């Protein structure tokens, strides 16, 4: 259940509601979302308790929600969430293009990609300073030095920037540098990290865990929202299946499924799904056709020399060609790039 509190309510009124919930052993959390106060209740109470709650003068509405995720559900929030950052809108009519290298490797490397993306409709430069690597011997990212290079590229090229955070201890530092924080697939259920980014004040791209169901994914989004951050962007990046022709299997059906379950924007990362660059055009076009609000694509000026994920990185010229195709698909879907 979600209990919306009236703006005129006092702290004492909220305390009274909480006591009532405690008396009935109903786990709950008070959420301050901008000017609104909401109490998220773990379960749906009986009709009698619901009536009791609705009768309280401080309660605007006490609404039962059938799904385990409440704040992320379309039932609780029938209007689509549109996240405004700078002069872009994520979840609006326009498809948002985010592109860049897997990792920040040097100033020259980041510069070359940012330069190559010029004029291709990209509004967000993706790049990671902290890298989750399967091998402890692989390049782990440039850390804070990388964040600084990212900020310089932002200033020079007028792009917004997004990057991954992996460690609770780095959240404040990363949030101070970038416009959008990314939670990678491997950390989708790192609940302490989700709580921390819930408090960071920056929009969050939440990637789908590679073995996670859509419901588990939405529960992770719920953690971030319940800890005070409503600006969550879901990113489908492929899931593990028996198929090994691709690195992961891009679950295109998750896009229309999510559109029926949640008000949150949905973007797609075809690069980590495919793990090979020849499939990126088809998967990107299909993602837009399926209703995605944006794309997150790896582009590198010299993929052969890339410190990670070179095989799936497009050259800037290939990306520019792909955008020409994507504009047509967007138009066919009644959207723009």
Segment 2 to 41, residues that bind ligand PEP, using CB under 6 A: none
In the complex, which residue's CB is closest to Mn ion? 102
Q: Does 309 bind Mn ion (CB under 5 A)?
A: yes
Member of 3, 99, 102, 200 binding ligand PEP (CB under 6 A): 102
Segment 114 to 133, residues that bind ligand PEP, using CB under 6 A: 128, 132
Size of the site for Mn ion (CB under 5 A): 2
For residues 250 and 272, give the distance between their C-alpha atoms in angstroms, rounded to a whole number. Answer: 9
Of 70 and 131, CB closest to ligand PEP = 131
Alpha carbon 154 to its chain centroid, in Å, reads 20
Exposed, middle or buried by CB within 10 Å (0-12, 13-18, 19+), for 8?
A: exposed
Member of 62, 102, 125, 280 binding Mn ion (CB under 5 A): 102
In the complex, least distance from residue 153 CB atom to Mn ion, rounded to whole angstroms: 18
> DSSP letter string over 27-95?
-EEEEEETTEEEEEESSPPPHHHHHHHHHSTTEEEEE--SSS--TTBTTT--SPP-EEETTEEESSSBP
In the complex, least distance from residue 76 CB atom to Mn ion, rounded to whole angstroms: 34
Member of 237, 277, 300, 307 binding ligand PEP (CB under 6 A): 237
Cα separation values, 11 from 16, 23, 30, 182, Å: 9, 18, 11, 35
- Pair 57, 77: CB distance under 8 Å: no
In the complex, least distance from residue 10 CB atom to ligand PEP, rounded to whole angstroms: 44
For residues 160 and 106, give the distance between their C-alpha atoms in angstroms, rounded to a whole number. Answer: 19
Of 72 and 185, CB closest to ligand PEP = 185
Of 207 and 277, CB closest to ligand PEP = 207
The four Cα atoms 235, 146, 103, 201 give a dihedral, to 10 degrees, of 0
Segment 248 to 287, residues that bind ligand PEP, using CB under 6 A: 269, 272
In the complex, least distance from residue 146 CB atom to Mn ion, rounded to whole angstroms: 14
Contacts of 17 (CB under 8 A, 6+ apart): 3, 5, 39, 53, 56, 58, 59
Q: Which stretch binds ligand PEP (CB under 6 A): 10-18, 72-80, 180-188, 191-199?
A: 180-188
Of 41 and 160, CB closest to ligand PEP = 160
Size of the site for ligand PEP (CB under 6 A): 11
The token pair at 203 is: 């929009």
Q: Does 207 bind ligand PEP (CB under 6 A)?
A: yes
Member of 184, 203, 230, 303 binding ligand PEP (CB under 6 A): 184
The residue assigned the tokens 């989004």 is 221
Cβ–Cβ contacts within 10 Å for residue 88, how many?
Answer: 17
For residues 95 and 294, give the distance between their C-alpha atoms in angstroms, rounded to a whole number. Answer: 5
The 53-72 site mask, x for binding ligand PEP (CB under 6 A), equals: --------------------
The entry of Mn ion, ligand PEP, none near residue 196 (CB within 5 to 8 angstroms by kind) is: none
Binding site for Mn ion (CB under 5 A): 102, 309
Binding site for ligand PEP (CB under 6 A): 102, 128, 132, 164, 184-186, 207, 237, 269, 272
């Amino acid at each position: 259940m979600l209990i919306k509190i009236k703006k005129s309510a006092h702290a004492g009124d909220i305390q009274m509601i909480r006591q009532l919930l405690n008396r009935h052993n109903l786990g709950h959390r008070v959420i301050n979302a901008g000017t609104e106060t909401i109490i998220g209740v773990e379960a749906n109470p009986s009709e009698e308790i619901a009536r009791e709650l609705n009768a309280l003068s401080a309660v605007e509405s006490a609404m039962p929600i059938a799904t385990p995720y409440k704040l992320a559900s379309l039932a609780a929030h029938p209007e689509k969430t549109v996240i405004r950052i700078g002069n872009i809108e994520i979840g609006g009519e326009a498809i948002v293009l985010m592109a860049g290298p897997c990792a920040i490797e040097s100033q020259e490397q980041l510069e070359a990609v940012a330069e190559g993306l010029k004029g291709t409709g990209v509004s967000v430069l993706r790049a990671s300073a902290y890298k989750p690597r399967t091998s402890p011997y692989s390049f782990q990212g440039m850390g804070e030095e990388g964040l600084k290079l990212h900020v310089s590229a932002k200033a020079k090229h007028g792009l917004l920037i997004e990057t991954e955070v992996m460690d609770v201890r780095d959240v404040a530092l990363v949030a101070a540098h970038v416009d959008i924080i990314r939670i990678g697939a491997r950390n989708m259920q790192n609940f302490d990290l989700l709580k921390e980014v819930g408090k960071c004040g920056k929009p969050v791209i939440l990637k789908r865990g590679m073995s996670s169901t859509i419901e588990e994914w939405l529960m992770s989004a719920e953690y971030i929202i319940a800890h005070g951050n409503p600006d969550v962007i879901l990113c489908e990046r492929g899931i593990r299946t028996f198929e090994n022709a691709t690195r992961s299997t891009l679950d295109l059906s998750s896009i229309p499924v999510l559109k029926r379950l949640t008000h949150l924007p949905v973007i797609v990362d075809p690069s980590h799904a495919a793990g090979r660059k020849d499939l990126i055009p088809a998967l990107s076009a299909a993602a837009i056709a399926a209703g995605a609000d944006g794309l997150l694509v790896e582009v590198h000026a010299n993929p052969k020399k890339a410190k990670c994920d070179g095989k799936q990185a497009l050259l800037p010229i290939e990306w520019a060609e792909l955008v020409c195709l994507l504009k047509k698909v967007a138009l066919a879907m009644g959207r723009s790039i």
